[in-house]
Chain A
Amino acid sequence: MATKLLLAKAHVEGIRHFEVYRREGGYAAVEKALKMEPAAIVEEVKKSGLRGRGGAGFPAGMKWSFLAKPEGVPRYLVCNADESEPGTFKDRYLMEFLPHLLIEGLVVSSFALGSNRTYIYIRGEYAWIVGILEQAIAEAKQNGFLGKNILGSGFDCEIYVQRGAGAYICGEETALIESLEGKRGNPRIKPPFPAIKGLWDCPTVVNNVETLAAVVPIMNMGGEEYAKIGVGRSTGTKLISACGNINKPGVYEIDMTISVEEFIYSDEYCGGIANGKKLKACIPGGSSVPILPANLLLTTAKGEPRLMNYESLADGGFATGSMLGSGGFIVLDEDQCIVKNTLTLARFYRHESCGQCSPCREGTGWMEKILGKIESGKGAISDIDLLWDIQRKIEGNTICPLGDAAAWPVAAAIRHFRDEFEWHVNNPELCQTQNFGLAHYADPIHVPA
């Protein structure tokens, strides 16, 4: 049985409410934290090795330690609940079922960072979760864990929920800040980083929902103990939202020592590929990360079993590896068309580009059009090379990582599945009625000889 630090109590009846959450040991982290020096809490988070759970995986304690503390200037903590990366729905689950875990993490983190006014920026479509969070905030306030002079410590903190209005780009921290200021979600040029100049030009930390919730077990068990879970620089547990052609889609908490094979095939997690089909490919960390064919997904290029953690999923770089990213785990079975899948993702990024940088604004549109052409059997071989060329010219040439996020899925699809793209070009009619199938991507472990 895997270690469960976040979701252990998710199924306790009434856990959404303060009394039940408190009875189950909730808010002990706040009691502990308020007796500590804020800097000591930052140290604990550093020791824990916790890495940002939104996708980038940047060490959270280090991010906190960058926060500027000029005299007389307010500092802000902003919780990034904009969860919009296709394949990712873990923060939604956490907020929906364990709202107090997030609020508890936010109180501790706000105290550590000196934020008296903390915002949860939630994607506009998660409208029903706003009420759940506001209820939890009201309950925490009634019970003295939030508001003025929390538990007599002299620390004041208010938490507000802010709804976005439909824009993937607002998951990027500077775009989120712009949006929170009531503007279009256009990312800012960095530096200055939000830690120096963020919300309303004040020092600001933006962290993902899961990252801030993980501060609770780190407080309770201590950073060193937390760091013992997992492997290497992948410490603690990670929420994985699994979807696509599997038997048991859903949100799972894993410690990062299990293999990808176990995650897909064990009944404790995905329960295998749906309808007795075979595994063709997988996007293991949200739509932006490179798609891998089954053979490279289950084992690294060196032939070692691939594990569900930051390092192992990235083993081999982009040539043969991918990324853990946000933990959005998208599984494709043998009936899925890679070209079509890539087209829907290209359309997504075209739709979500904020339009500031030409390579992204224009390039995402071009990629969608060319992929549409190939998918509908009207493409030429030169179009595949053109796609490759465009994605290369987007990557690294934009203010924010959306450009990279749009380029990588196209690059990886061509890198690993070029023959399927060529097959579409060479079989313009057949590709409208028939699927390319598995070819050599067949899952080397689970396909009968």
Chain B
Amino acid sequence: MAGLAVLALADGSIFKGTAIGAEGSSTGEVVFNTSMTGYQEILTDPSYAQQIVTFTYPHIGNTGTNEEDNESDKVWASGLVIRDLPLLASSWRNQQTLDDFLKQRKVVAIAELDTRRLTRVLRDKGPLNGCLLSGAALEEGGKEKAIELAQQFPGLSGMDLAKIVSVDRTYSWEESVWDIREGYLPPAEPRFNVVAYDFGVKRNILRMLAARGCKITVVPAETPAADVLAMKPDGIFLSNGPGDPEPCDYAIMAIKEFLDQSIPLFGICLGCQLLALACGANTIKMQLGHHGANHPVQNLRDGTVLITSQNHGFAVDGDTLPNKLEVTHKSLFDGSLQGIERTDKPAFGFQGHPEASPGPHDVAPLFDHFIKIMESHSNSASITEQVAASS
């Protein structure tokens, strides 16, 4: 029988289960995700850095894992908490079982616990810091150790994780979206030069940009505005990422510069929050973050409802928006702000995940919107010439 594992929360709650994945100890903010598919994408999403994620759906690992479904090159979540690890992975796409995937990547995980009870605790109390303990570490320290470690975790408020998860050098992105027969497609004919700030970017964002004719250069989080401007971008993309946006002053400053220069800007999740901060709004830590793939978001311009993928614990405070920032989308679950657009500048952001992966594709048209504003902003200058010149 598999070894014992515990999950301790900072409030002293203890959940007992079975150790899966790697044995050892791991701490982080415990969050739940209600998506029934896409565990591999979620585990490899850099926005989950320093978070222990639990899935509300009980069977996690049904389709195993494969090389195509990674959203980055590693597992960023600090730990995984599930109800049941299936006996077998069944999918023509499976290359490695979830258990082996976790072991190989040294991810501490736990199964067989009442994840619904855990979810209800998190729902009622908000995200709590926690610690996963298994194997020798558990034998030595016991559950008291786990509680102690959970309490020692500093929490995500005020924590700038973007620069930690970001790349350390600039690179270009050459892959387009996934096709069930062909796998990842080659990028479309380049029409725009786009610089993407990597605050913890998900690959599918870059793929969706590439599919729409963007030639993408990914830059580290702390890249100064001047360096980016020197690349003569048609548009700048501000990625998703983990942690609190407020401490990311370097990014906020850069964004202010881009706004001044009227360069088309598109921000997703953390990128959207950074855009709001750069415009003068405030952000807040949410009592109950959004983590799921079923969230209804209303487009306030036409009233339509979009089902979106969500993953954020911080949000733009709707009461602090400056005049020139229009609210374009709001959550129908809690009324929180989901989309913003500058009325005077070609800049907009979306709090949820239009790139999905995992989740519904309803908000994908926002990528087209980005293309459109780049198109209308690029005057009559031949874009292909620009691209040719810069490469």
Q: Does B bind A?
A: no
Residues of A within 8 A of B (CB): none
